Amino acid sequence: DGGRVVMVTDLTAIKRHEIELDGLVAQLQKASAAKSSFIANVSHELRTPLTAVLGFAQIVQSRLESVIFPAVSGDAHKTDRAMGQIRENMGIMIQEGQRLTKMINDILDLEKIEAGKMVWQIEALDMGSVIRQAAAATNSLYVSKGLAFHIDVAEDLPPVMGDRDRLVQVVINLISNAVKFTVRGHVACTARRGAGPFVQVSVIDTGIGIAPEDQDEVFDKFRQVGDTLTEKPSGTGLGLPICREIVEHLNGTITVESMPGYGSTFTFQLPVAEAGA
Ligand code: ADP
């Protein structure tokens, strides 16, 4: 009768809720595991430069003795040598300290964007001026490596909707990577109209390239691929994930095309600002 049917329906409903709950619990467990491994990863990454800073601080401290004592006894040669070593050690300490600062800033930026706490200043922007600002900020990088750097911005490029500081950050990240992974040749940054109502910005290098199977992964947190694992140049593996978060927040996309041994091209597309926006 009716009562029994209701009971059976209830049981089915309960069963269905149980299955839904199991799914939810599994999802939460997965998210929690991802968070744990992220924290373990972050802690490990932060400890490396800190260990270097502390280690070299101790070496410098003990070297100071070898500056002072020969100085007292008038051994100028020994004093000079110890001073040279100290200068070198201090250089590494500063470099590692800066790397630590960049890592912490990157982690905070990524967290802020992911948590939706980033304050965005969206306006109609000329990508040409964004690129020139990023190029100026990275000038010392490519100059010190002796790499040529070209900018090629299409005339009559329409403005995009974006946040200037965040987009400069994206282009700086891409140029820094291009320079970091290029030994000889050049780096270029181009901006032109893409297919449809988009502006397309590319950062092109003639560097080491990225293997096809690694190309999707470079946008994952802390992912450093290929040879960069063994001769890992200072980096956080957070630069590209930050670029992707920023570009996607602005309704754009970012991709990479690369040929190992020949170079890489990172391209992002952003929607053109509506007239009058
Ligand atoms: P980081 O550069 O700090 O390691 P990113 O997220 O910016 O972190 O990049 C992740 C990884 O992607 C790099 O470690 C490197 O292996 C690879 N990669 C990024 N840009 C390039 C490039 N232009 N050429 C070759 N490899 C690159």
109 with 249: CB under 8 angstroms?
Answer: no
Which residue type occupies 4? R
Task: Tell me, rounded to whole angstroms, the distance of Cα 86 from its chain centroid.
Answer: 31
- Closest C-alpha residue for ligand 1 atom 19: 177
The pLDDT of residue 197: 94
Lowest-confidence segment of 25-39, 198-212, 253-267 by average pLDDT: 25-39
| pLDDT tens sequence across 114-165 | 889 999 999 999 999 999 999 999 999 999 999 999 999 999 999 999 999 9
Q: What is the torsional sign of CA 277, 174, 34, 30? A: positive
Lowest-confidence segment of 1-10, 35-44, 102-111, 257-266 by average pLDDT: 1-10
169 lines ligand 1 (CB under 6 A): no
Partner residues linked to 152 by β-bridges? 190
Polymer length of the chain? 277
| pLDDT tens sequence across 188-246 | 999 999 988 999 999 999 999 999 999 988 998 777 776 544 445 566 788 999 999 99
177 lines ligand 1 (CB under 6 A): yes
Separation between Cα atoms, residue 247 and residue 256, nearest integer Å: 14
**Residue 179 CA, ligand 1 centroid: distance in Å:** 10
- Closest C-alpha residue for ligand 1 atom 20: 177
Q: Which of 122, 114, 149 is nearest to 135 (CA)?
A: 149
The pLDDT of residue 230: 44
Average pLDDT over the chain reads 88
Residue 196 has phi, psi (to 5 degrees) of 85, -165
Number of Cβ atoms within 10 Å of the Cβ of 149? 18
218 lines ligand 1 (CB under 6 A): yes
215 lines ligand 1 (CB under 6 A): no
pTM of the model: 0.79
Separation between Cα atoms, residue 117 and residue 119, nearest integer Å: 6
219 lines ligand 1 (CB under 6 A): no
106 lines ligand 1 (CB under 6 A): no
Percent of the chain with pLDDT over 70: 91
Instruction: Reply yes or no on whether the pLDDT at 277 is more than 50.
Output: no
269 with 200: CB under 8 angstroms?
Answer: yes
Q: 98, 187, 218, 247: which to mutate for ligand 1, most atoms within 8 A of CB?
A: 218
Instruction: Reply yes or no on whether the pLDDT at 106 is more than 60.
Output: yes
Q: 224, 227, 242: which to mutate for ligand 1, most atoms within 8 A of CB?
A: 224
Structure tokens at 32: 């929690």
270, with CB counted inside 10 A (0-12, 13-18, 19+), is buried
The long-range contacts involving 77-82, CB below 8 angstroms and separated by at least 24 positions, are: none
**Residue 84 CA, ligand 1 centroid: distance in Å:** 33
* Atom nearest to 225 CA in ligand 1: 16
Separation between Cα atoms, residue 211 and residue 131, nearest integer Å: 27
Q: Which of 204, 192, 153, 172 is nearest to 272 (CA)?
A: 192
Structure tokens at 253: 């996309």
49 lines ligand 1 (CB under 6 A): no
Buried b (16+ CB within 10 A) or exposed e, 84-104: eebeebeebbeebeebbebbe
The CA-atom distances, in angstroms, between 71 and each of 77, 83, 85 are 9, 11, 15
Tokens 């990524």, residue? 110
**Residue 277 CA, ligand 1 centroid: distance in Å:** 35
